[in-house]
Structure 1
Amino acid sequence: MSDYDSIVIGGGHNGLICATMLARIGHRVLLLEANDKLGGLAADREFAPGFHAPVAQTLYGLQAAVIKDLRLEDYGFVAGDPPLNLVALSTEEPPITIGDTALSGAQANDTLAFEQYRSQLKTFAGALAPFWGKTMPRIGMGSLKDLMTFGHMGLKLRLLGREDMLEFFRVATLPMRDLVDEYFESDSLKAALCWDGMVGTKMAPRSPNQAVLTLLNRMAGTHEGQHVVPTGGMAEFIAVLERSARSAGVEIRTDAAVKKITIDGDDNGQRCSGVRLADGSEISAERVISSADPKTTFLRLVGAANLEIEFTNRIRRLRCDGYVAKVNLALTDLPVFTGIDRPDGRMVLAPNMDTIEFAYDNAKYGELPEQPVLEVLIPSLHQTGLAPKGQHVLNANVMYVPGQLKGGWTDDARSTLMATIMEALEQYAPGITALVSASELLTPLDLEAQYHVSGGHWHHAEPAVDQLLMMRPTYEAAQYRTPIHGLFLCGAGSHPGGDVNGNAGRNAAREILA
């Protein structure tokens, strides 16, 4: 008899969600986390004495079904403050505040256009919403279940009406630049609106790929794509998931790195029989579910020797180059941003889309951005305990910073990037440098090393058209099942992708239980 029914590798939110759902129906579940804390990129980290900032600071795609299925409110989950406004900052234009349905500080034409823009995207997001929570049909299969999924999708799109349906097919694969150019005049507004479709990816405004579809995925959550800081912050959100998991009967071990997934073979083919830990101990299970990224799962934990060469080649070719660096600043006081009464929103420092495009061009060639583009948040305005009283934490996503930097990530390269970032911040918050008592820079290479994510990519694999839906991460592994009997996926590299929305973990559990 196996030690467990199910072993889940990885204690991020998807791993916790999958493990909890399996345990609730009676599975003996063991969850293994390599680090000393649960949560993955949402785990709390103290980057300077008394100053805390996880890599993932906000919720913006959490599914209502996850909250309900795991009874998260019973374990203390509270959505928290109202959604954060998005603020477009530019040295050329006044700040523009972007809410859920309205703008503040924009020209009249843009204000009117935003209502139409947001309404249209909400309509499209609502039509697609059910399918982020479903297993995508297998390519070439014609089962009744698959046909019903396709039929349901077709019906939802047809119910949009002819005009909206045709517009959806036109818009869904547009570059973000083309979409926002159709609606708006303000350069900084267009740059900020692009941001929410591209952040965490290897795409720029002109990229002819899936940024609009990614945006619609994010808008399918409980806050329709708006970002919130949950009560107690992301650390408390992870604690809620842990309480729910333990209550369901999940056994959790941290500091328990998996070295290998155990594969046995006989005349009936290969099957997964458990795991071997870094300390040499072996644990058996009826199935193993990995929330690690696909490259880590198949190439490092399973090993190419246990896979067909065609499948291995497809996994090797997955694009998972992280392009986002994280900067955390410990501040002795609250900085003053020009033109803003209180810096309590998500501030995008990108004067126009060309600035974003040029930073992307630098990154493509392994170079540091000459003019970095940033999304800045001061989470200590929304959550106590992140900094000593009267002091603050500034957290920034710096887009288009290559993990594979030309010449490598030397101390000089890090210093150069930090100096460039501080110079950019000074343009919008004069005097901020004098408030910095400590700082932290996490490059994609650092994220890869510290969080065991190939390439340091937030989403485990680029959300591009050939790596989405029934192709995520690739065929033969796109329905959470893998070519090896008893081995499943439940991480962000599976449908529907990354972000802290929980769909991949929930979908995987439902597929296992089907």
Structure 2
Amino acid sequence: MASNILVIGGGANGLACAFRLAKAGARVTLVEAAEQVGGGARTVEFAPGFRASGLAHLLQGFDARAAKEMRLERHGFQTSAPLATILPGETPLTIAASGELSGAAPEVTEEWDALTARLNRHARRLAPFRQLPPPRVKGRNDWMSLAPTALGLGRAGRRDLRDLMRLLLTNAADVAEDDLSDPRLQGLLAFEATLGAWAGPRSPGTLLLELNRRAMGAPRLPKGGMGALAGAMRRAVEAAGVTLRTGTRAERLVIEGDRARGAVLSTGEVLAADQVVSALCPRTTLLGLAGAAALDTGIVRRATAMPFRGGAAKLHLAIEGDPGFGPGVDLGARIVLAPSVDHVERAFNPVKYGEATDAPVMEITCPTAHDPSLAPEGHHVLSIIAQFVPHAPKDPAAARARFLAGIKARLEEAAPGIGARIRHEELLMPSDIEARYGLTGGSWHHGDFAVERMLFLRPFHEAARYAAPLPGLWLASAGSHPGGGVTGTAGWNAAGQILRAA
């Protein structure tokens, strides 16, 4: 493939896309506005001597095809074993990465095992769809490519298939409360089903979000933090011959003859290209880089109407000594503070009215339990994803103070005395996430992640096959199929479509 291709955005999707195209023989240049590639997977120093994964802090569902072809292990990338999940309490509950529950009464364990087996069975059947490019509505060959996966669903049996169809539009709260009796396990399911979404557990369709999460496999913590993945991917794309231009922003596309022909960079340079791939969010790409004048009115309307509602914040804490979660809580595990379904639902309710909750739910990791070099000796780092807080609260200062106070109060309940051991803190509200990482609305998934905007429906029909509604332009971000997470799949699939079209 003799072609000159420009890739805009150096997150996991942009890197995966650039690598695949370069290996196929294209001349690829990747431009990234930040000084380092990796996007939300970069490792950052948030206080002197304290480092953490800047945004995403766990790796879940990274594309096996990209990992294999990029030979990431040869480039120094390693992950720990999948993380267990701990639910603190008088008697902590521990859920192994394989799903086994310990610390609960026998009848509670039996309930959990039955529901886990049921959800995992359905998730395995949905998993292959994540790697498939969306079919053309009238394309017989593309629909035929779905046949093996569709037949796999057909072999599920009438009862199992009926159960899956029912669950796809069910809310997570109903399943949690119907099948589980322990409030903490109910809360865990509710939390996971809404993590990164603009939805509460009683919102329709949230059980599908949980199935999608399970289809991605168990979360892992990369050795050296998420920045280690970014570093390995950078070495892989450089070895493949990709030209990297960091600290360089693409300001706008060059459009000639109703076709994308390159981009004008922040340096003032015009970089010509036969094809342009954007790993930025669809709205930024279409309305910002291309501009409304280059698009049909209907496309402008669709791009404008796309919801980008980030409700999750990221908090980094520097702790002197042990965080103090108490006996039975392994700092190397993933700690979830979501005591019940109602806690998660009540945390979501205020954001609908432009306010932050004062009782957030959260996921906590302690990266220094795996890599002590991330903090000075005798100290720890806590990396926390907390929900919910709006991107544009009515009173930003008050919302920040209320939300941070709520996080600390919840932490104090789980780890008494931790407040006195906090030496530094950095809270990234959704607006901060947008400013630092270019995620419109602070949306981690480059657009709302909901039933009507998942899988083959992302970002919208006219752009669902990675080809933008502007010749020469391609979309390769988490705003496209299969959606959010540091997976590289959208970028890998987009590269495949570009190669097919060549």
| TM-score normalised according to structure 2 size | 0.96
User: Partner of 2:61 in structure 1?
Assistant: 61
Residue segments in structure 2 that go unaligned for 5+ positions in a row: none
User: Partner of 2:422 in structure 1?
Assistant: 436
Does residue 371 in structure 1 map to residue 366 in structure 2?
no
User: Partner of 1:353 in structure 2?
Assistant: 341
User: Partner of 1:154 in structure 2?
Assistant: 150
Aligned residue type for 1:348? V
Aligned residue type for 2:45? E
Aligned residue type for 1:51? F
Secondary structure of the corresponding residue to residue 254 of structure 2: strand
Deviation at 1:169, TM superposition (A): 0.8
1:192-228 deviation digits (Å, cap 9, x = unpaired) = 122222211111110102x33333333334xx2x211
Would the aligned equivalents of 1:94 and 1:339 in 2 still touch at CA under 8 Å? no
User: Partner of 1:188 in structure 2?
Assistant: 184
Q: For 1:195 and 1:419, how far apart are their aligned partners in 2? A: 20
Secondary structure of the corresponding residue to residue 358 of structure 1: helix
User: Partner of 1:240 in structure 2?
Assistant: 232
Bigger Cα displacement from structure 2, 248-257 vs 419-428: 419-428
Does residue 383 in structure 1 map to residue 371 in structure 2?
yes
Would the aligned equivalents of 1:372 and 1:421 in 2 still touch at CA under 8 Å? yes
Would the aligned equivalents of 1:376 and 1:396 in 2 still touch at CA under 8 Å? yes
Aligned residue type for 1:239? G
1:445-492 deviation digits (Å, cap 9, x = unpaired) = 000001111001110011212212332000110000011111001110
Q: 1:234 to 1:38 in 2, by over 3 A?
A: same
Secondary structure of the corresponding residue to residue 15 of structure 1: helix
Deviation at 1:339, TM superposition (A): 4.7
Does residue 453 in structure 1 map to residue 439 in structure 2?
yes
User: Partner of 1:492 in structure 2?
Assistant: 478
Aligned residue type for 1:125? A
User: Partner of 1:476 in structure 2?
Assistant: 462
User: Partner of 1:129 in structure 2?
Assistant: 127
Would the aligned equivalents of 2:59 and 2:219 in 1 still touch at CA under 8 Å? yes
Secondary structure of the corresponding residue to residue 31 of structure 1: strand
Residue segments in structure 1 that go unaligned for 5+ positions in a row: none
User: Partner of 1:113 in structure 2?
Assistant: 111
Does residue 102 in structure 1 map to residue 123 in structure 2?
no
- Count residues with an aligned counterpart: 497
User: Partner of 1:217 in structure 2?
Assistant: 212
Would the aligned equivalents of 1:403 and 1:455 in 2 still touch at CA under 8 Å? yes
Would the aligned equivalents of 1:261 and 1:276 in 2 still touch at CA under 8 Å? yes
Q: For 1:308 and 1:249, how far apart are their aligned partners in 2? A: 36
User: Partner of 1:275 in structure 2?
Assistant: 263
1:106-152 deviation digits (Å, cap 9, x = unpaired) = 222221122222222222122122211111113xx322222213433
Q: For 2:337 and 2:445, how far apart are their aligned partners in 1? A: 23
Q: For 1:363 and 1:447, how far apart are their aligned partners in 2? A: 17
Would the aligned equivalents of 2:191 and 2:338 in 1 still touch at CA under 8 Å? no
Q: For 2:154 and 2:332, how far apart are their aligned partners in 1? A: 41
Does residue 208 in structure 1 map to residue 204 in structure 2?
yes
| Aligned residue among 323, 328, 332 for 2:311 | 323
Aligned residue type for 1:202? W
Q: For 1:462 and 1:201, how far apart are their aligned partners in 2? A: 7
Q: For 1:381 and 1:194, how far apart are their aligned partners in 2? A: 27
| Aligned residue among 293, 297, 309 for 1:309 | 297
Aligned residue type for 2:57? Q
Q: For 1:123 and 1:414, how far apart are their aligned partners in 2? A: 41
Aligned residue type for 1:219? R
Q: For 2:353 and 2:473, how far apart are their aligned partners in 1? A: 37
Would the aligned equivalents of 2:84 and 2:94 in 1 still touch at CA under 8 Å? yes
Does residue 507 in structure 1 map to residue 493 in structure 2?
yes
Q: For 1:312 and 1:107, how far apart are their aligned partners in 2? A: 55
Aligned residue type for 2:94? T
Deviation at 1:306, TM superposition (A): 0.9
Aligned residue type for 1:283? L
Does residue 37 in structure 1 map to residue 36 in structure 2?
yes
Secondary structure of the corresponding residue to residue 461 of structure 2: coil
Aligned residue type for 1:16? L
Secondary structure of the corresponding residue to residue 219 of structure 1: helix
Does residue 144 in structure 1 map to residue 117 in structure 2?
no
| Aligned residue among 410, 417, 427 for 2:413 | 427
Q: For 1:216 and 1:149, how far apart are their aligned partners in 2? A: 23
Correspondences of 1:226-305 after superposition (within 5 Å): 226-265=218-257, 270-305=258-293
Q: For 1:398 and 1:78, how far apart are their aligned partners in 2? A: 27
| TM-score normalised according to structure 1 size | 0.94
Aligned residue type for 1:328? H
Secondary structure of the corresponding residue to residue 7 of structure 1: strand
Secondary structure of the corresponding residue to residue 73 of structure 1: coil
Secondary structure of the corresponding residue to residue 300 of structure 1: helix
Q: For 1:106 and 1:18, how far apart are their aligned partners in 2? A: 45
Bigger Cα displacement from structure 2, 8-17 vs 310-319: 310-319
Would the aligned equivalents of 2:355 and 2:399 in 1 still touch at CA under 8 Å? no
Secondary structure of the corresponding residue to residue 112 of structure 2: helix
Bigger Cα displacement from structure 2, 374-383 vs 240-249: 374-383
Deviation at 1:51, TM superposition (A): 0.5
User: Partner of 1:170 in structure 2?
Assistant: 166
Would the aligned equivalents of 1:63 and 1:220 in 2 still touch at CA under 8 Å? no
Q: For 1:220 and 1:350, how far apart are their aligned partners in 2? A: 22
Q: For 2:165 and 2:107, how far apart are their aligned partners in 1? A: 26
Q: For 1:147 and 1:307, how far apart are their aligned partners in 2? A: 28
Would the aligned equivalents of 1:87 and 1:192 in 2 still touch at CA under 8 Å? no
Aligned residue type for 2:27? R
Q: Percent identity?
A: 39
Q: For 2:329 and 2:443, how far apart are their aligned partners in 1? A: 34
Aligned residue type for 2:93? I
Q: For 2:99 and 2:191, how far apart are their aligned partners in 1? A: 17
Aligned residue type for 1:271? R
Provide the aligned C-alpha RMSD in A.
1.6
Q: For 2:132 and 2:83, how far apart are their aligned partners in 1? A: 29
Deviation at 1:501, TM superposition (A): 1.6
User: Partner of 1:79 in structure 2?
Assistant: 79
